[in-house]
Amino acid sequence: MQLSDFDFDLPEELIATRPVRPRPAARLLHAEGGALVDRQVQDLPAILRPGDRLVLNNTKVIPARLSGERQRETRDGSGRARIEVTLVSPEAGGGWRVLARPLRKLAPGDRLDFGGLLQAEVVARDSEGAVLAFVQQGEAFDAALAQVGQMPLPPYIAARRPADARDAEDYQTIFARHSGAVAAPTASLHFDAALLAELRARGVDFSEVTLHVGAGTFRPVKVEDVTTHRMHAEWGEVSAEAAAEINATRAAGGRIIPVGTTALRLIESAASGGQVQQWRGETDIFIYPGYRFQVTDGLMTNFHLPKSTLMMLVSALMGVEEIRALYAHAVAQRYRFFSYGDASLLIPQPQM
């Protein structure tokens, strides 16, 4: 299975840099029973069945991008330099693994100051990034980060415009509860309170799980044989309550439809023998064609980057040729792509 199997041509103008408003006005490409139907997210109550269960990722994106100054004692006063870091994941002992630009300007022992409100010391550096120990901890850290941090927009948006105050709302789901993600579960960005209420009235149920999306979600696949790709790990949790709800829905004949690839990867990580178990820890599950889904009956997701692990995941769910045709349709019909773009609802044929 080659990386080129998951490539496609995408006109640059189809990459969305802002979401549509209101959120459910985004377009929705509904793929089910061999047919493709152009709809909107607000049509979900008419598409889904009573007894279906949507699985929502309630992670909360932190304002993980920081701009500041490196401070180093030097005789000639050259120890100050501008630096940008992006928080990636918490480390044991209270530190943070970060990406830094320019990384070469950091060394262990350097002090960093971000807007006078947040300070850190570089405790380690390698070829991938650095580890910082922040002076502020706990609530003081959260409060300072909220003031000086910016939303960590995906690289393909950040290259076109800087983050601004609007992104603080746009790049956060309305059910975000548990801080820790440095990227949004973007399929969930299409929901607002009114749509959730309509779905409940329709008889659609919800379960919440937590997967803290990491910066690795944007890491490109660099091997041609995709089966040799090493997936990044992300921390997640499926509560006993969520596991019981999902299992009860399956027993009653309802469909389990994760909203987003993060929720899908998490419940599949927690599944064993066709049942979801209470689960907590890191998952590096890599889903590509040939994978047999244990508890997933469908998926709502945005349109993904060429040659990405997410393209491999949706191809595993629907079939490589089916996804190729679906993406060709999306490009021809001018759907908006990636994190702030439109969505698809993918319902595969039941596995035999």
Which of 58, 52, 59 lies closest to 298, judged by CA?
Answer: 52
Distance CA 310, CA 307 (A): 8
Q: Which segments within the chain are labelled E, that is strand? A: 27-32, 35-40, 53-57, 59-61, 65-71, 80-90, 96-101, 111-114, 118-125, 130-134, 178-181, 205-211, 234-238, 256-258, 271-272, 275-276, 279-283, 299-302, 343-347
The predicted structure's pLDDT at residue 37: 98
- Residues in the chain, pLDDT under 70: 75-78, 216-218, 352
> Length of the chain in residues, anyone?
352
Distance CA 82, CA 128 (A): 19
Strand, helix or coil at 134? strand
Which of 349, 350, 351 lies closest to 34, judged by CA?
Answer: 349
Contacts of residue 57, Cβ cutoff 8 Å, sequence gap at least 6: 173, 185, 188, 208, 209, 210, 211, 213, 259, 260, 262, 263, 266
The predicted structure's pLDDT at residue 218: 65
Handedness of CA 238, 244, 246, 251 (dihedral sign): positive
Q: What angle do CA 337, 340, 342 make, to 5 degrees?
A: 50
Contact assessment for residue 40 and residue 26, using Cβ atoms and an 8 Å cutoff:
yes
The predicted structure's pLDDT at residue 232: 80
Do domains 3-61+168-347 and 65-148 share one topology? The answer is no
Handedness of CA 254, 351, 257, 242 (dihedral sign): positive
The predicted structure's pLDDT at residue 217: 66
Q: What is the pLDDT of residues 12-21, one digit of tens each?
A: 999 999 999 9
Calculate Rg over the CA atoms of the chain: 21
Architecture of domain 65-148 in this structure: Beta Barrel (2.40)
Superfamily of domain 3-61+168-347: QueA-like (3.40.1780.10)
Distance CA 177, CA 186 (A): 15
The predicted structure's pLDDT at residue 172: 97
Q: How far is CA 47 from the centre of its chain?
A: 24
Specify the DSSP class assigned to residue 99. Answer: E
Instruction: Report yes or no on whether pTM surpasses 0.75.
Output: yes
Handedness of CA 271, 339, 57, 98 (dihedral sign): positive
Paired tokens of 337: 């792509």
Q: SS3 helix, strand, coil % of the chain, rounded to 5?
A: 30, 30, 40
Paired tokens of 4: 């080129």
Peptide bond connecting 102 to the previous residue in cis, omega within 30 degrees of 0: yes
The predicted structure's pLDDT at residue 284: 93
Would you kindly state where each structural domain of the chain is located, as residue ranges? Answer: 3-61+168-347, 65-148
Distance CA 130, CA 278 (A): 33
Contact assessment for residue 191 and residue 23, using Cβ atoms and an 8 Å cutoff:
yes
Distance CA 99, CA 103 (A): 8
